A = this chain, B = another copy of it.
Amino acid sequence: MFQINENYLQLNESYLFSTIAKRVENFSASHPGADVIRLGIGDVTLPLSPAVIRAMHSAVDEMGKKETFRGYGPEQGYSFLREKIAEIDFRQRGVAISPDEIFVGDGSKSDTGNIVDILGEDNVVAITDPVYPVYLDSNIMRLGKSPQIVLLPCSEENGFLPEIPSQCTDIIYLCYPNNPTGTVMNRHQLKQWVDYALEYKSLILFDAAYEAFIRDNDVPRSIYEIEGAKECAIEFRSFSKNAGFTGLRCSYTVVPKALKARSVEGDEISVHGLWNRRQSTKFNGTPYIVQKASEAVYSSEGQQEVRDMVAYYMQNAEIIREGLTEKGWTFFGGKNSPYIWLKCPDDMDSWRFFDRLLEECHIVGTPGVGFGSQGEGYFRLTAFNSHEKTAEAVERMKRWA
């Protein structure tokens, strides 16, 4: 009789955003006229930019002609894209990452979820609480609800920045600008983690999906701006939030060649080689047309369009920040991040606030507790809706008794 991976039975029944979608669906069914405004899921609303659209039409035409048709591409991504990334996202910012240290993927959810494949089962894994659920769930799928998974509380007291553990931790997930709290780590703070990882030979899994929203110069956009990070960190990047690729699916993972592990027998192992083997075996590359779209993001026109999109969303963040300040509610984030982490008023718990906000203001947000127990009593709002809807949502909240 075949057996299943029993660790799955220890997962919560349903993925957070599916649960929310269902609740909203039920609400809309029973309130057919309601104009529900979504400030919940981190999905973008602006269309793809003109440079991206042009690049895709052109790539589609190539795929329709025998002379320019492209079949299987390299599992790691096309050089034309990896070279642009290395140049613009790294070299121009003073960081030396070579194109073959970059693996193009189909989304950071896949990349951060699949990375556990190459890691051992005896690692102590540190995950912040609250956290993007994928880090935790992908580890429970591998290890079960094990004491090896250590939660690092992020609360108002520590400014939502986890404290450096006193004992050895093998794998550390960090996401900054943070999802869900919208907080950032400055250079000095991130350096402490890199120093810790170098000392304990830990691996930092650094999710920089929101780097495009950073405004402060003191906040590093890549962990590789910190000396020594290439020996201890993998970085995940996404085109979802800067270029609006949530429905187009493109991401990349940087695995520096300087990053080495030791086998149980004491041999030095290239982590780059492991990830390359994983991706070559279980992935067949991101679609050519999507990689051409991503390349267009790096054209001078594309870069300007991305800046404009990010600025648009950051104006929404400002609208929310101003509204909440006026309302007198406590919140964090929204300065270098599209996320605002609201403390639920009147000591409401997260789901109670979710239901009341939906019923009374017809606004959807994300209950903080969905990101971990430390998120209880908090609520995530996002800046990804339109100016009009965001302003309207803020007005509704202001009017709310």
Binding site for B on A (CB under 8 A): 1-6, 8-9, 11, 15, 18, 41, 43-48, 50, 52-53, 56-57, 60-61, 63-66, 68-73, 106-107, 109-110, 113-114, 117-123, 133-134, 137-138, 141, 168, 170-171, 200-203, 244, 246-249, 261-264, 269, 271, 274, 277-278, 280-290
**Could you tell me if B64 and A2 are in contact, using CB atoms closer than 8 angstroms?**
no
A119:B282 contact, CB within 8 angstroms: no
**A271 contact set on B, CB distance < 8 A:** 4
In the bound complex, how far is the Cα of B8 from the Cα of A243, in angstroms? 35
Nearest-Cβ distance from residue A37 to partner chain B, whole angstroms: 15
Would you call A122 and B200 a contact (CB within 8 A)? no
Q: Which of B2, B113, B289 contacts A120 (CB 8 A)?
A: B2
Chain B, Cβ-Cβ closest to A41: B72
B57–A118 touching, CB < 8 Å: no
- B1 contacts A200, C-beta separation under 8 Å: yes
Q: A2 to B261, Cβ gap below 8 A?
A: yes
Are A5 and B117 interface neighbours, CB within 8 A? yes
Flag if A281 contacts B123 (CB, 8 Å): no
Contact assessment for A3 and B120 in the assembled complex, using a CB-CB cutoff below 8 Å: yes
Number of copies: 2
* Chain B residue contacts of A201, Cβ below 8 A: 1-2
Which among A41, A48, A122, A262 has the highest number of chain B CB atoms within 10 Å? A48
Given A45-B69, A202-B2, A277-B15, A249–B284 Cβ distance below 8 Å? Answer: yes
Q: For the complex formed, measure the closest distance between the CB of A144 and the CB atoms of chain B, giving whole angstroms.
A: 12
9 A-B pairs (CB sep. < 8 Å): A1-B201, A1-B202, A2-B261, A47-B65, A70-B247, A107-B284, A113-B283, A134-B282, A287-B290
